[in-house]
Chain A
Amino acid sequence: MSVHMPTTVDEAVALLADNPGARLLSGGTDTMVEVNFNHLKPETVIGLRRVESLRDYRVSSERIEIGAGVPYSRMETGPLADALPALAAAARTVGSPQIRAAGTLGGNLGTCSPAGDGLPVLAALDADVNLRSPRGLRSVPFAEFMVGVKRNSRLADEIIESVSIVPTRGYQDYAKVGVRNAMVISVASVCFVHDRNTASVRIALGAVGPTIIRAREAESWLTGQVDAAATLPNDENIASEFARRVAAEARPIDDHRSTSAYRRHAIQTLARRLYIRSTK
């Protein structure tokens, strides 16, 4: 096995072009599990840890850009947490302190598990995923990036450089159900984003379908009922009907972690609760 440690994105892109099939390594918290289970035997590894630019983020009033190598621990507090409270909430649910210190958003996107906690936030924030290749930079909306269970539209020679998010104005939050109070894989999760700038409410569901699901019909039903340019009304009826519609768009399955009936119920409960939290 050969290991390369580039220090710039361009260098990393060139190495990937020269070594087709090389494994990109960020925090390693998914990759090492694959290695451990013997599902993966990488011949060439390109470590991204020394690429400083990937480990940076920038927050401005027009645009938030988060490098693929930013670990969860840096999303939990600080300027990024202030700008994106839903991302901070999602980051706090990830694994243990050790995992949050190592694991990155780029890795979450690379793996693209429906249970990945960063992904519903990117979906609800309409984030763009920025991919770098020898051909240059390509931006893909998150909804087009994740295409299936652990499948994404990244091309073999592309490196995930960053995600870009247009800041919103209004309440945003993330909640996740697991069968343990910490360090647990999501059984169902919801990211709720209210943006008064665009008069929209966006809700994304994790672990209840092959991809992250945006409950778009429920979103548009809601914006037809309320003035999303203002604070949302604290109305239990609206919250309940919205939640019912959100849950109807989930596509959960039965597996050893939970049942589809419970997952749908959890989505409905979380959608209602997050709506009500947003009105307070």
Chain B
Amino acid sequence: MKNTPSSTRTRNRGVLGTSALRPDGVAKTQGNFAFSSDFQAENMLWGATLRSPHPHARIVSIDPSEAWKISGVEAIIFADDVPGKATYGLIASDQPVFARDVVRYMGEPIAAVAADHPETCRRAIAAIKVVYEGLPVLSDMDAAIDPATPAIHPDGNVFRHQRIVSGNPDVMGDVVVEGTYDIGMQDQAFLGLEAALAYPDPGGAGVELVVATQWLHEDRKQIADCLDLAPEKVRLVLGGVGGAFGAREDISLQVHTCLLALRTGRPVKVQYGREESFFGHVHRHPGRIHLRHHADRAGKLVKVEGWMKLDGGAYASTSSAVLINGITHLQGPYACDNSRLDAWATRTNNPPCGAMRGFGVVQACFAHEGQMDKLAAALGLSPVEIRLRNAMKTGDKLFTGQVVDSVAPVARCIRETDAIPLPADAQYGTGSLELPGGSGRTSDPSHIRRGIGWGVSIKNLMYSEGFDDSAEARCTLVDGVATLKFATAEVGQGFVVLAQQIARTVLGVDTVVLDTIDTQIGSAGSTSASRQTWMSGGAVDGACRLVRERLFEHVAHLHNLDPLQLVIEGTEIVDTLGPLRMPVAEASKGLRIEQTFLHRHRPTEELDENGQGNCHVAFAFVAHRAVVDVDTELGLVKVVQIATAQDVGQVLNPLALLGQIEGGIAQGLGLAVMEEIVVDRGVVRNPSFTDYLLPTTLDAPDVVAIPIEEYEPLAPLGAKGVGEPPCISVTPAIVAAIRNATGRDIVRTPVRPQDICLPS
């Protein structure tokens, strides 16, 4: 082993830059992985939630007496049973744990039950008599903004208004194009449904919660407040998470589960079904955006003006942050000095909306990319040319006044995407499953028109507006085995393998043990905002480097060397100035080196009233080109190919990167042509996978992806987050391709068949 050249050894060791396999991969593919819904405890009770069937109503009375008569019912709790704070929320604490006097959205929790069996719970829930008195339903954003509309909540009907004014807002361009764009409500639709299991401490002094979440410590803070317990009395353990996409950032069943466990003194498990999941978590904000783009005759942007309205539904969640992300990205990845923009996030009786992959930027991008195509058409330029002429570069200033000091290879993303060969012309037989309409066999090849469309986007990485963001990790090296401890929620993105890759690379170890992911260490922040590779990756990297320093000091001391001349090569410590070469495993024998590292990114600022300020940390860019086949008469679409080049900084794991790209594209495709929660005056019409349609393999396109690797000096590993960009500009690219195939000015997403083939 000692004589094996390190170059051949590193190849298979799963270091950074390789497609190291996930530690949980085999278990997941074989069905052995324990998702949070798989946990059981001895003497366990089940919990369930009573929810409002109405989007807005006064609760006249609640009578649980019939429910109490059902044998097996152990607890029924209401708003009055919440010992601490009655409300929770990520930014503003405005969402009741249980509604008391009024319900503001369909599905709002009113009570929870613990019983010996899920079926007993269901019967008890059905037996609780609630008398409602209907209230007028506020479901329209403009009505919410109108000050004459009665407030549906003491905090008012507007979560936030923000303005951005930059440069000379009165300047006019030679060419002006205008458009209004609508975005439907998308659901994160993770496959692993909400589930949690709470264990009460003896005497109710504390509680332990095993839960699928994105951010253990933030959950803990909100839970502890509602339970009136000190945060350290609430211990959270990450249950296996089957996808998140933003939907697990808010509290859903956490407080209810803990309350039931503390009330009964027994472990309690709560688990949502698919229908309840649609009501149990926040969705992507639907919105309407109006933009007017000014350009000179050469196609250079002169000014962007307009407004954005996002509907946050009944409670605040992260609406105010989504709004800032939205308005600050209306510019797109294009250089421009002058702007006048307004944005509102409204409160209505629609389902609450909050975080979802892309966080406000998806909506903004759908609008600015529609505008870029309009500009191109007005100027007689190609979609590629208009974007290249305006592509942002490092050093350009945003409308907020912030200088983009990230690596910004926008033009390169566009050029490399453009260079990807187009797919061959369709050669379908009649009845081919590959035709639009798929297995329905509706289309013949003669009915098909092909279209090509473009989307390019900019996405901020990490949290914004002065948020004090940090991530902690601990590395312990014992006898050549590294153990890592962090609270980073693994939600499917693969941080668990990345952490191992970092430790193998930095420390030259082969075996990296991952400790339980829980609150027994400092916060890692949320698994969201494309931030964990940068933040928790930085923390793991920092902890491993500290351990390596100690190890080098130890070895240097023993051999009378200067630690600075030691390096890790493969799995060995090597003296760069002398003959010493020894395996890390041997060098660390009998030692225990433990180091903790807290990683912080540079601070950001809030925006002032004109939307000025360095509010974001860093940015990533991506280009998408979509090729679609459209049956223009039936309005059916098949996305044939997505070509993409993405600014990633460094590729740390090619396979994991491709997973993010392909998954993000599928999710963006969903928003483009099928995924929408249909809400009619506050009532959700399709809370099931029968009618909320996710793309199948027959809908998924061929993906040709090129990573653009330009080392990002701001990032600890030179790598940008890659989770969100794939899903952002793919939606406008697909819709642009449909416009290209049909010649129709389609202004809403998802595009429905009737939007393509019937008069609007």
Interfacial residues, chain A to chain B (CB-CB below 8 A): 33, 36-38, 89, 92-93, 96, 173-187, 189, 255-259, 261-262, 265-266, 269-270, 273, 277
Supplied contacts A175-B441, A185-B691, A189-B440, 14 more A-B pairs, CB within 8 Å:
A176-B440, A176-B441, A179-B693, A180-B438, A181-B433, A181-B440, A183-B696, A184-B693, A186-B440, A256-B680, A256-B686, A262-B635, A265-B758, A266-B634
Cα–Cα distance between A38 and B753 once the two chains are bound (Å): 33
Check B634 against A181 for contact (C-beta < 8 Å).
Answer: no
On chain B, the residues within 8 Å of A38 by CB distance are 122
| A89 touching B685 in the complex, CB below 8 Å, given contacts A179-B753, A256-B691, A277-B430 | no
In the bound complex, do residue A93 and residue B634 qualify as a contact, i.e. CB atoms below 8 Å apart? Answer: no
Return the contact of B437 from the options A174, A177, A255, A256 (Cβ within 8 A).
Answer: A177
Most B CB contacts (10 A, CB to CB) among A89, A176, A179, A257 go to A179
Question: Is B283 in contact with chain A by the CB < 8 A criterion?
Answer: no
B634 touches A269 (CB 8 A): yes
**B636 nearest CB neighbor, chain A only:** A177
Question: Contact: B678 with A256, CB < 8 Å?
Answer: yes
Q: Is B633 a contact of A269 with CB atoms below 8 Å?
A: yes
Q: A177-B753, A261-B754 are in contact. Are A256 and B685 (CB under 8 A)?
A: yes
The CA of A181 and the CA of B630, in the complex, are separated in Å by: 12
- Name the interface residues of B429-445: CB closer than 8 Å to any CB of A: 430-431, 433, 436-444
3 A-B pairs closest in CB distance? A181-B438, A256-B685, A176-B440
CB closest residue in chain B, given A259: B754
Cβ distance B750 to chain A, nearest Cβ, rounded Å = 9
Q: List 26 A-B contacts (CB under 8 A).
A: A89-B431, A89-B441, A93-B440, A173-B441, A177-B437, A177-B634, A179-B674, A180-B674, A180-B696, A180-B698, A180-B699, A181-B436, A181-B438, A181-B638, A182-B438, A182-B697, A182-B698, A183-B439, A185-B690, A187-B753, A257-B691, A258-B753, A258-B754, A262-B754, A265-B757, A277-B444
Q: A179-B693, A185-B690, A266-B634 are in contact. Are A261 and B758 (CB under 8 A)?
A: yes
Instruction: Let me know if B275 is at the binding interface, CB within 8 A.
Output: yes
A173 to B698: give the CA distance in the assembly, Å: 22
CA gap between A229 and B443 in the complex, in Å: 27
Alpha-carbon distance A185/B693, docked complex (angstroms): 10
Interface centre among A38, A181, A184, A257 (most CB of B within 10 A): A181
For A174, the chain B residues whose CB sits under 8 A away are: 441
Give B750's nearest chain A residue, CB to CB: A179
Known: A256-B691, A257-B691. A179 touches B752 (CB 8 A): yes
**A181 & B696 in contact (Cβ 8 Å cutoff):** yes
- Smallest CB separation, B595 vs chain A (Å): 50
| Residue in chain A with minimal CB distance to B685 | A256
User: Which of chain A's residues has its CB closest to B442's CB?
Assistant: A175
A177 and B442 contacting across the interface, CB-CB below 8 Å: yes
Contact residue among B275, B439, B690 (Cβ-Cβ distance under 8 Å from A181) = B439
CB distance from B742 to the nearest CB of A (A): 15
- B443 surroundings in chain A (CB, below 8 A): 273
* With A36-B273, A262-B758 as contacts: A273 and B444 at CB distance below 8 Å: yes
Distance in angstroms between the alpha carbons of A173 and B439 in the assembled complex: 13
B442 contacts which of A182, A257, A262, A273 (Cβ < 8 Å)?
A: A273
Q: Are B442 and A37 in contact (CB under 8 A)?
A: no
Determine whether B695 belongs to the interface, using a CB cutoff of 8 Å to chain A: yes
- A103 CA to B690 CA in the complex, in Å? 16
Q: Can you name the residue of chain A whose Cβ is closest to the Cβ of B673? A: A179
Kindly report which residue of chain A lies nearest to residue B677, judged by CB atoms: A256
A residues near B753, Cβ cutoff 8 Å: 177, 179, 187, 258, 262, 266
1/0 contact string of B657-697 vs chain A (CB within 8 Å): 00000000000000001100010100001100011010111
Task: Determine whether the beta carbon of A270 is less than 8 Å from that of B696.
Answer: no
**Cα distance A255–B686 in the bound complex, in angstroms:** 10
Nearest CB in chain B: distance from A92 CB, A: 6
* B contact residues around A261 at 8 Å (CB): 754, 758
CA distance A175 to B691 in the complex (A): 20
Of all chain A residues, the one with the shortest Cβ separation from B274 is A36
Chain A residues within 8 Å of B440, by CB: 93, 175-178, 181, 184, 186, 189
The CA of A176 and the CA of B442, in the complex, are separated in Å by: 6
> What's the nearest-Cβ distance from chain B to residue A184, in Å?
7
Contacts of B698 in A (CB 8 A): 180-182
In Å, the complex CA distance between A185 and B758 comes to: 21
- Report chain B residues within 8 Å CB of A176: 440-442
Q: Let me know if A181 and B699 touch, CB within 8 A.
A: yes
Residue pair B633, A180 in contact (C-beta under 8 Å): no
- With CB as the reference atom, state the residue of chain B lying closest to A36: B273
Q: How far is the CA of A269 from the CA of B636 in the complex (A)?
A: 12
Q: Please report the C-alpha to C-alpha distance between residue A257 and residue B697 in the assembled complex, in whole angstroms.
A: 21
What's the minimum C-beta distance from A269 to chain B, rounded to whole angstroms? 5
Please name all residues of chain A whose beta carbon is closer than 8 Å to the beta carbon of B686 when the two chains form the complex: 256
Among candidates A37, A182, A184, A187, residue contacting B275 with C-beta atoms closer than 8 Å: A37
For the complex, give the distance between the alpha carbons of A164 and B306 in Å: 64
Chain A residues within an 8 Å CB radius of B431: 89
The complex places the Cα of A37 from the Cα of B636 at a distance, in Å, of 31
| A93–B698 alpha-carbon span in the complex (Å) | 12
Chain A residue at minimum C-beta to C-beta distance from B670: A180
Indicate whether A182 sits within 8 Å of B699 (C-beta atoms), given known contacts A261-B758, A273-B444, A277-B444. Answer: yes
B696 touches A182 (CB 8 A): yes
In chain B between 69 and 83, which residues have their CB closer than 8 angstroms to a CB of chain A?
none
Chain B hits for A175, CB < 8 A: 437, 440-442
The residues of A that contact B673 with a CB separation of less than 8 Å are 179
